[in-house]
């Protein structure tokens, strides 16, 4: 088996799950535990998530879009703001029941790393997380956007000095 074929484990990662639905957090925790994650923080709202992100080293953020009183998109925008966030390059997997192209575009433009529509399977969660860490996208730092490159293929016309690779701290 080639190293790239090896099963991705999260045993060295710390994950934060943000969802206002406790049952959904439980499902995600079970899936992540099966993937090897031992350190998982849960937040039922954005305010709690902000506290975790400011005080703990997090390697992966999984958040829902639709939450009250503040939604997951606001959380993503805060994380991607280098002047406010201690972790602006944090990989973010957004889960939502919204599948329309406009919502996907909005999430992408906010800086989401990967986007998944509910319902999901453990395999689809694994595939998205694996993709985020095995094939990380470069980060773009421009006047109008900070976040993972919104294109899946690199554009050779954009200067590489504006792009930064992020990685997982072991």
Is 70 exceeded by the pLDDT of residue 88? yes
% of residues, the chain, pLDDT over 90: 66
DSSP-assigned letters across all residues of 1-30: --GGGSPP--TT-EEEEE-S-HHHHHHHHH
The CA distance from 134 to 101, in Å, is: 26
- Domain of residue 155, residue span: 3-164
Q: Is the pLDDT of residue 156 over 70?
A: no
Has residue 44 been placed in a domain? yes
Mean pLDDT of the chain: 86
Residue 152 has pLDDT above 80, yes or no: no
> Does 7 fall in a domain?
yes
Answer yes or no: is 170 within a domain: no
**Domain count within the chain:** 1
Q: 0.75 exceeded by the pTM?
A: yes
pLDDT value of position 4: 44
Confidence bin at 130 (pLDDT 50/70/90): very high
Q: Note whether residue 169 is domain-resident.
A: no
Is 149 a domain residue?
Answer: yes
Q: Is residue 144 part of a domain?
A: yes
Find the CATH number of the domain harbouring 156: 3.40.50.2300
Starting at the edge strand that comes first in sequence, how are the strands of the sheet with 14-18 ordered? 39-43, 14-18, 60-64, 92-96, 114-117
- Across 97-118, average pLDDT: 91
């Amino acid at each position: 088996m080639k190293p790239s074929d090896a099963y991705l484990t999260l045993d060295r990662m710390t994950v934060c799950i943000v969802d206002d639905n406790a049952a959904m957090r439980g499902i995600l925790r079970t899936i992540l535990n099966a993937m090897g994650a031992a350190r998982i923080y849960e937040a039922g709202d954005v305010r709690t998530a902000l506290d975790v992100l400011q005080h703990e080293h997090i390697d992966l953020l999984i958040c829902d879009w639709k939450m009250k009183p503040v939604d997951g998109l606001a959380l993503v925008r805060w994380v991607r703001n280098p002047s406010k966030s201690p972790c602006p390059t944090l990989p973010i997997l957004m889960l939502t029941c919204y599948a329309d192209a406009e919502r996907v575009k909005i999430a992408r433009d906010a800086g989401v790393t990967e986007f998944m529509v509910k319902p999901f399977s453990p395999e689809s969660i694994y595939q998205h997380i694996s993709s985020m860490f095995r094939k990380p996208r470069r980060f773009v730092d421009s006047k109008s956007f900070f976040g993972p490159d919104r294109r899946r293929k690199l554009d050779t016309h954009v200067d590489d000095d504006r792009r930064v690779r992020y990685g997982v701290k072991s």
